[in-house]
Amino acid sequence: MKKSLVTFSVFYACFAQGGAASAATATSTMNVSTTVQSVCVTSANDLSFGAYDPTASSPTDATTTISITCTSGTNFSVGLNQGTASGATVTARKMTNGSNLLGYTLYSDSSRSTNWGNTVGTDTPAQITAGSSPSLLTVYGRIAPQQNVPSGTYSDVVTVTVTY
């Protein structure tokens, strides 16, 4: 009987000591930071005038939109260059069909009185402050009437530049 009692006492002492143990902890802090950069991205829809009648007495008008998404609070301006035709300017853009040229203009207002160029503060729309959603700008295009050019498909590529 003595042997059983010793075994029980050792078991009880080990169990009681293990159940009473507690874990220690230590804490610390870490700083978390980043720098948000001002960034803008843009996309432009194509401007299609459809069919142009060189004998018509009224201009051919069309519109399209440019979408600009910038970091919220970023101020930006949008310019349109002269296009790719030789001799074109921002006030006298030209679509080409081989060596044939068809003049057109781009405006920033619906009355088509304010030319849209590429020099910030001179011939671009007023500066915009980005919000939380994309800014949509309308481009108003016009082909002057009675440009007697050969039939065919005329095109140009205008670069949209966002300055921020």
Q: What is the pLDDT of residue 62?
A: 98
pLDDT score at 17: 52
Domain spans, the chain: 53-147
pTM of the entire predicted model: 0.82
Which two structure tokens, joined as six digits, stand for 85?
A: 């035709």
pLDDT of residue 127: 97
Per-residue pLDDT tens over the stretch 89-118: 999 999 999 999 999 999 999 999 999 999
Give every residue of the chain whose pLDDT is below 70, as ranges: 1-20
DSSP the chain: -HHHHHHHHHHHHHHHHHHT---------------PPP-EEEEE---------TT-SS-EEEEEEEEEEE-TT-EEEEEE---SSTT--SSSEEEEETTEEEEEEEESSTTS-SB--SSTTTSSPPPEE--SS-EEEEEEEEE-S-----SS--B----EEEE-
Give the model's pLDDT for residue 20.
59
